Structure 1
């Protein structure tokens, strides 16, 4: 009886450990629970852009409309549909089924659960195999799942371990249907331009390595697997691919000018490289690399003094050198691009420094392999615990929700309902309809001192937006509106002319403050708007979070001012005279 129990326990332990990690993740997710939309979610590059574009697609029924002439009317003067995210991605599907906030929160939870299972699979199968490591694998997978990666990009970061596990399996034996499901799922649920290209390139390096060593069957299996992933991306990212191949519009990205945007100098590049090495990038997971570095140092110091120890030290040194080289490349990339953009204009449109999307997994692999060389005991658990605390502590979305539960959410970080302020913007829509008889589709607005995404989420049709890709001709048509303000501020002029993803109404007095709260109130003394150019684009109203001291100088008149309890904004609405 005793022997039979011993035979059962090792098989039960991994399942129990994994279940414990899943339960822990669900308990941590309770921090997001709040009534009436009072949850905090990331604002920058998230609520101010990613969620609004999905809403715009769905409200016009254009999520799956990939016809060459399809446009989304409520963005700019009619944005080509193929400039926006794919309609096949899960976040868009959830937004079609649920209101925006529940859709985002459910998507966030699903992404992190997928990340936990993905990392656990890689650890158990390849990096920390064996029943005795099951609990350690579960804890490390939990630490991976809570990293502050942007989940609006799906599993671009957190799902990478599953792809690595499949590719490593293909080196040894033919794939099974779960392997194909993983590759198709990753292509469906991740971004091609942010992570997919680099995952395919890394897989291609592995393929070439196998072929160079004469393992042609393994290379063939890898080629087939990478082909499945690439074809999935072609299907899911059809809007982007068709826009590129069909030449449907010239992108504003072709005017990116890194020589105007990037400070030059060796010191600048080294400082940026050090930041990439020790912290990473906020889109792909910003966390201090302390635990992997301590684990690598401990493994090198505590391993027995044998030839294997010397080999381990060389391996760890090579891994750290590769990570350092990648960080330096990312750090110096703006300067490298500034030097080469004339010879290779494509460098302006595609950002190779997004290699940083692969770096969190590389650091976790270094941590896992170092833990494998350390003796069992409290030391290993301390390192995993440290990594878990670092990941949670630097996950600002989670920590700010904890502070909200404690009643200590900073005034500068509003909740979803305060930021979107549906009651406030509803008052504006109702007043315009009552006084003019116009519905939002009959006029266009632009925003000053608040992200246009807020207006988009509230059903307005906006001439301004924060977009990664839109027609260059529109950028040129929009510039006269703000030319007077750009002339006052060389920094804003470079920000728009050499980059321009934020196609916004700018104010030299506000600078890059794109979130002007209701308190303290702000007044812009001198603001220049080309009202005639604004009207030519279809503009009628300016929704401003700051009061204009002299609206008539810009060809505007006050339509009304609006406040609502709990809203982050105080709105002044101006109409073109």
Structure 2
């Protein structure tokens, strides 16, 4: 009977709900849909390559990850002292991703439940509300590859509030020390530290004194981030191993100018959020706040506290929405702001919205209204979780043609055929030659053990960007869309085609043909390139200095690939490309 009783608790129900949420992944396994954009196309590749090439903990200035960009400095990538890297070191990429996601969502659910029960919904009658909110939190459309950066924030806030209010336990110090081991500093570290410091300053300004335990907790969090992110800080600040391409960031070229654009972006941040930090409609939360004020529920002081939190969210939305315009004004005088994105304060807003909802529910009278609001919020998160929805479609046998499952997208058998063809023709293994990709992300080739000159990276040497640019200069000269996309940003250091634009997912069913590919084969060869793998057929490859070496297709895969080789020897740029390149270099 005690076991049955425990299974009937609200928390057990929430855990069962999470299990049902994860069930499609378990059933589909290699046919699971994995979020593609900024996830499968890049993030899964990094821990896989760090562990496969045994450089996860190799922080020497000379260490490189050979398959990326002709040997990307190891210290340009995420730290190896990470639970995420550990999981990928133990398992193959897809099992690692699915296991990692399950752990992150489970810890997220438990973290928010404990936080709510300890600080925001402590009454015994509020356990169901806390459990339901915890489940809604755990199923959000979050990038779990970032570890606990988003869904794990309740643990960090719990430890901080315990240290601030007391009595603190050793577990609170342990959470502060452990959080950097499973989170991304650039997404959450500085912003969580700034938020904690601001709250302590507010306490001091209101005459509550200084919570020195909380100060110590923030100091411990900072110290642990310095330890975990040692390769980043050492390479950029101490050894100055390379100058980052981020120094050329110019967000003003990538966003619409003017007050109207900033206002539209502000509304998106406030009502929807940003997709990296979990995008979900805030309607249920706002309805709960309206209900509190409409019913005059709770004390005036409690309602003012709710209003203050909403005010913070409004200020953050305005700051993030107008951030590009702000940066345009100061970036010449403060170059550091080009490389470090201060608008990432929005990574803290999903949790703050949940706290606003919890406080609203606490003030509202008990009844169906409270559970209806939580249910609406839960359904909102589920309905916007495209990864989960696409897996339901996969189970139903009705997948979207443009959203392939993992095996169809990564296509190991298809890429294996390409390697086999090259091996037959040259006797060489992938490490002996370099490729670049057109019409699909290089990260997919990297997951299939190719060594690529192109890649999607948040941080890489600016010198490499300048050496890569001549290869694509002809295509950028033809496209006002692509030129600033590379020159003013450049995280996607890709082969571009003005005819394909930003279509980096050219499926076999599209039958795309590039009529004129202004590709500088000589510059490509100077950088070490030999093959171009393309998801679109080139109508005239010889004009681009290329020759066809194979065509590859297979059932149930997303791609139809064409293999092109640089014509040896290359004495100069193909006809028509050199002038285009000069035009692009000197617009």
Same fold (TM over 0.5): yes
Q: Does 1:426 align with 2:416?
A: yes
User: Residue deviations 1:292-316, cap 9 Å, x none?
Assistant: 1011111111135xxx643344333
Match of 2:296 among 273, 292, 303: 303
Per the alignment, residue 227 of structure 1 pairs with 219
SS at 2:156 equivalent = helix
The aligned residue for residue 356 of structure 2 is 366
Which position in structure 1 is the counterpart of 2:572? none
Cα deviation 1:201-260 (Å, max 9, x = unaligned) = 1111122233445555x5211111011111111111112111221211000000001221
2:571 alignment partner in structure 1 = none
Greater Cα shift, 155-164 or 99-108: 155-164
Single out whichever of 168-177 and 44-53 deviates more from structure 2. 168-177
| Residue from 164, 170, 183 that aligns with 1:171 | 164
Cross-structure match for 1:562: 552
Q: Is the 8 A contact 1:300 1:312 kept in 2?
A: no
Confirm or deny: 8 A CA contact 1:41 1:416 kept in the other structure. Answer: yes
Kept in 2: contact 1:14–1:134 (CA 8 A): no
User: Is 1:456 aligned to residue 449 of structure 2?
Assistant: no
TM-score (norm: length of structure 1): 0.95
Return structure 1 stretches of 4+ with deviation > 4 angstroms: 12-15, 213-216
Equivalent positions of 1:387-466 (< 5 A) are 387-466=377-456
Question: Equivalents in 2 of 1:361, 1:214: separation in Å?
Answer: 27
TM-score (norm 2): 0.94
In terms of mean alpha carbon deviation, does 546-555 or 203-212 score higher? 203-212
Q: Provide the rounded CA distance (Å) in 1 between the counterparts of 2:497 and 2:63.
A: 33
Looking at structure 1, the residues matched to 329 and 255 of structure 2 have their Cα atoms a distance apart, in angstroms, of: 11
Decide which of 177, 195, 198 is 1:202's aligned counterpart.
195
Structure 1 match to 2:64? 71
Residue 339 of structure 1 corresponds to: 329
The CA distance in 2 between the partners of 1:14 and 1:348, in whole Å, is 52
Equivalent residues of 1:303, 1:373 under 8 A apart: no
Residue 258 (str. 1) matches residue 248 (str. 2)? no
Deviations 1:493-548 (A, max 9, x none): 00000000000000000000000000121100000111111011110000000000
User: Would you say 1:573 and 2:563 are equivalent positions?
Assistant: yes
Partner of 2:273: 280
Paired with 1:221 and 1:524, the residues of 2 have a C-alpha distance of 63
Q: Specify the alignment match of 1:319 in structure 2.
A: 309
Q: Deviations over 1:260-279 (max 9, x none)?
A: 11211111000000010000
Shift, 1:15, TM fit:
8.3
Q: Which one is further off, 173-182 or 410-419?
A: 173-182
**Offset at residue 56 of structure 1 (A):** 1.7
Query: Secondary structure at 1:33's aligned position in 2?
Result: helix
Change (3 A) 1:341 1:213: same
Greater mean alpha carbon deviation, residues 288-297 or residues 14-23: 14-23
Preserved CA contact (<8 Å) 1:122 1:162: yes
Q: Which residue of 1 aligns with 2:584?
A: none
Kindly state the Cα deviation for residue 284 of structure 1 after the two structures are TM-superposed: 0.7
Output the CA distance in 2 between the equivalents of 1:70 and 1:16: 51
**Which of 221, 228, 238 is the aligned partner of 2:230?**
238
Match of 2:486 among 480, 491, 496: 496
Distance 1:537 1:165 in 2: 51
Structure 1 Cα separation of the partners of residues 374 and 347 of structure 2: 22
Match of 1:131 among 104, 108, 124: 124
Which digits, 9 at most, give the CA deviation of each residue in 1:26-79, with x for residues without a partner?
121001124561100000000001011222212211011011111111110211
Q: Which runs of 5+ in 2 are unaligned?
A: 568-587
Aligned to 1:88: 81
Answer yes or no: is the 8 Å Cα contact 1:14–1:135 preserved in 2.
no
1:545 aligns with 2:535: yes
Deviation (angstroms), 1:13: 7.2
8 Å CA contact retained: 2:28, 2:395: no
SS at match of 1:361: helix
Matched, 1:509 2:499: yes
Distance 1:116 1:293, change over 3 A: same
Q: CA deviation at 1:383?
A: 0.3
For the 8 Å contact 1:445–1:461, the answer to whether it is kept is: yes
> How many Å apart are 1:180 and its aligned residue?
1.8
Report how many aligned residue pairs link the two structures: 565
For the residues of structure 2 that align with 1:183 and 1:27, how far apart are their CA atoms?
A: 31
Partners of 2:313 and 2:52 in 1: how far apart?
44
Which of residues 516, 519, 531 is equivalent to 2:521? Answer: 531
Relative distance call for 1:451 and 1:116 in structure 2 (3 A) is: same
By how many angstroms is 1:472 displaced? 0.1
In the aligned structure 2, how far is the partner of 1:325 from the partner of 1:95?
Answer: 38
Q: Distance in 1 between matches of 2:212 and 2:8?
A: 34
Q: Any idea what SS the aligned residue of 2:510 has?
A: coil
Structure 1 residues 331-381: Cα deviation after superposition (integer angstroms, max 9, x where no partner): 100111111100111111011111110111111111000000111111000
User: For residues 77 and 172 of structure 1, what CA distance do their matches in structure 2 show?
Assistant: 52
- 1:318, distance to aligned residue in structure 2 (A): 2.5
Alpha carbons of structure 1 residues 315 and 214: separation in structure 2 relative to 1, 3 Å: closer
Question: How far is the alpha carbon of 1:174 from its aligned partner?
Answer: 5.0
1:38 is aligned to 31
Contact 2:306 2:359 in 1 (8 A): no
Partner of 2:150: 157
Compute the RMSD of aligned alpha carbons: 1.7
Maintained 8 Å contact 1:545/1:569: yes
